[in-house]
Chain A
Amino acid sequence: MISRRAFSAGLLACLGGCATHHESGPSSDLPDIGAGYRPDPKSDEAGLWLKLDKVEQNQRRSPGRIRDKPINDLVQDMVCRLAGAYCPDLRPYVIRVPAFNATCAPNGMISIWSGLLLRCHSESQLAAVLGHEIGHYLKRHSLQRLRNSRELDDFAAFFQFQLQGPAAGLIRGLSQDITQASKSMFSRDHEREADALGLALMADAGYAPAACADIWRHIKAEDAAGGESERFDFFLSTHPATTERIDNLDELARRRPPAARPAPDRLNAALGPLRRSFMADEINQGHFKRTDNLLTRLIGDGIDPGGALFYRGELYRRRNRDGDEAIALGNYHDACETADPPAEAFRGVGTIRWRRGETELAREYFRRYLRVAPNADDGDMIRKYLSGA
């Protein structure tokens, strides 16, 4: 039975009423988005944008948003360098989520997660990710995926009625698998396109194209350390295998001539003390091996070694297995000898030495702690240790 609602909608459409359905279009070979583009209010694209406008409204005021001026100024400037004429259409937000990700919504909202910033060693590496995301926006990939899914699901819905007989269940299952695989392949093609376009955008802006593959090498190493060797699934993976992406990005980077005017590297200055707060979030996640891999890499590459050593010490102290305290102590000591040690590293040495009965050594580090952080919340308690209590 055709529902009353469907019937009246059809009737109204026939009568030229206001209730006509939204206009759609092809799912592939769409023209690139133009600068200053707004979708036709009658289109499916407008519905997609409105949905994301509502998400953005929440994100703009979210307590999870990081509002520090230097990092927000930097990502805004980078988006403009990368996107050129599209700069006014793109709105980057820095969000406190301790995982490796960034997204670009079809309406131009870009979300950059804190866990991604922590994993970027240079502005070029961040530009690699932003370029990729801007690539998705320029190619209108979200709209293409929406339409592609609709086409496949609609077809499957009609196809199911043709099925009769004993093999119907098997064929229905098979058709669902094929639909799923098609969607995943479509998405993987978009990722490849965004990888290539992102590399071109960032290299054109003067960033080092080799950074694109580098960031994926970091992720691969973390995955391997965490025992999560890549599980590529032909049916389900929305992104190509990391190894394939690294190879392609390396190849594309090799073909680029050196930049005429290299872009600056302002990431570490812009992140400043934020990077340590991201490390604090990172060690709270309970991914011991991944986090250990990440912090060890930061220490090795000289990315805030004081902070990375201290938080590696924290990571081991909290796990507290046999031998972990000694490793924590070693990391705190190393952190104390860097150019910019966190005050807490001195306290870390002090408390472990005190527990071991090495009172004088402990007091020396407590004194150093109070010198660096005279107004620390726990200052009074630390002074008790010094007065011989």
Chain B
Amino acid sequence: MCRWCRLVAAFLLAGLAGCATQSYRTIDALPRGAAAPRILVMPPDIELSELTAGGSVEMNAEWTRAAERHLKTAIREHLQRIQASFVEYRAPADDAPEAEILDQLQPLHATVGQSILAFHFEPQKRLPSKKDKFDWSLGPAVTHLAGHADADYALFVWVRDSYSSPARVALQFVAAMAGGIPVGGGVQTGLCSLVDLKTGQVVWFNALKPREEGDMRELEATRRTTAFLLDRMPK
């Protein structure tokens, strides 16, 4: 692809960022005392899979490893560009006392994020107990992170991305020939949260609308997905 085509494409996609995601924030900017608030960047939780013709997803090791690297790079670049003060999470040793809690936080974030998606953004599913407030938390265990890395907020990113296997592509073709029966392809879903490490509260949340676009196997496309995810993060 020619360089300016890509630029135009990136520009158009950036313009569409508002439609591609659904976000919520409880604060517009992170409160600043003497120093800029520090953000602890958790390692992105990302898996890339193949979608088979039969409809199951099979993790692809090579893609997943590449996407982990790309997403880490893209997040770092994005935070540098917006001049956020951040530090990257370093996994503790297996026998460190906090290892077990830290391990549980990633899947906990994924679960809380799915719940926010399911119960906040669809008005008819709003939970009565929330009284229309955006009130979601990872709980007090998160405070362990503050001590772990001397930070005020933690940024969690969770992405699941699938790609049609060759057999799936063939099935889509056959289905189209057989009278336009729609057969879906691989889907990219993702969500991210900024969590207050003193309280565990989610102060900002953003999720991609599931889309058959984006290619996390490439750094450039990963940068675009990252921009969708982190574009409106308060800093």
A interface list, Cβ under 8 A from B: 1-6, 8-10, 13, 18-19, 21-22, 39, 41-44, 46-51, 57-58, 60-63, 146, 149-150, 152-154, 156-158, 161
Contact = CB atoms under 8 A, between A and B. Distances in A.
Nearest to A151: B54
Nearest to A22: B60
A252 to B, nearest CB: 35
A355 to B, nearest CB: 43
Given A3-B212, A6-B185, A161-B181, A150 B169 contact: no
A2 to B, nearest CB: 5
Interface of B: 49-50, 52-56, 58-66, 94, 99-100, 103, 163-169, 171-176, 178, 180-182, 184-186, 212-213, 215, 217-218
Given A5-B163, A6-B185, 9 more contacts: A2-B172, A2-B176, A8-B215, A10-B169, A44-B58, A51-B59, A57-B103, A58-B103, A153-B54
Contacts of A49: 61
A61 B58 contact: no
B171 A157 contact: yes
A47 B186 contact: no
Kindly name the residue among A42, A154, A156 whose own CB sees the greatest number of chain B CB atoms within 10 A: A154
Contacts of A8: 215
Nearest to A62: B100
B61 A47 contact: yes
Contact of B163 (A9, A46, A156): A9
A9 B164 contact: yes
Contacts of B182: 1
24 contacts: A1-B176, A2-B176, A3-B164, A5-B215, A6-B168, A8-B215, A13-B166, A18-B66, A18-B217, A19-B217, A21-B163, A22-B58, A44-B60, A47-B50, A47-B60, A49-B61, A50-B64, A61-B100, A153-B55, A154-B52, A157-B54, A157-B171, A158-B53, A158-B171
Nearest to A63: B100
B53 A46 contact: no
A118 to B, nearest CB: 25
B10 to A, nearest CB: 16
Contacts of A9: 163-164, 169, 215
Contact of A3 (B49, B172, B174): B172
Contacts of B174: 158, 161
Given A5-B163, A158-B53, A18 B218 contact: yes
Given A61-B94, A153-B55, A157-B53, A6 B60 contact: no
B212 A5 contact: yes
Given A18-B217, A22-B50, A50 B61 contact: yes
A9 B217 CA distance: 11
Nearest to A58: B103
Contacts of B63: 19
A161 B58 CA distance: 23
B162 to A, nearest CB: 9
Nearest to B179: A161
B60 to A, nearest CB: 5
Contact of A152 (B54, B180, B218): B54
B118 to A, nearest CB: 24
A248 to B, nearest CB: 32
Contacts of B176: 1-2
Nearest to A46: B61
Given A3-B185, A5-B185, A158-B53, A150 B172 contact: no
Nearest to A147: B58
Contacts of B64: 47, 50
A61 B99 contact: yes
B49 A47 contact: yes
Contacts of A43: 61
A5 B164 contact: yes
B31 to A, nearest CB: 34
A63 B62 CA distance: 31
Contacts of B215: 5, 8-9, 19
Nearest to A179: B54
A42 B63 CA distance: 9
Contacts of B54: 149-150, 152-154, 156-157
B59 A153 contact: no
Nearest to B168: A6
B56 A47 contact: no
A97 B65 CA distance: 32
